Amino acid sequence: MAFIAASLSILLIFFGYQKFSTFDSAFEADQECHFSIKSDQLDAHYGCDHDLETRQWLLYKQSEEAGKSLVVKRFRY
């Protein structure tokens, strides 16, 4: 009985975290990503991009050289 209660508690915590740590739509995630650039007064090397496979918007910093970009923050929906 204790095992079932512990399992249900873990599942409840997991799903609660998922619900409250994500956005309800891609539009909300997009708005938050672009707002982060403006509110933090980031320079022109920062941008937002939509990743359809993982259902998230990415705030990234473009490398000074032609290398890879660095993902700064993820906005999941």
Mean pLDDT for the stretch of residues 40-47 = 89
Q: What is the rounded CA–CA span in Å between residue 18 and residue 77?
A: 10
**Within the chain, where are the H helices?**
2-20, 26-39
Q: What is the rounded CA–CA span in Å between residue 54 and residue 21?
A: 15
pLDDT of residue 67: 79
Please check the confidence at residue 34 and state whether its pLDDT lies above 90.
Answer: yes
What's the predicted TM-score (pTM) here? 0.70
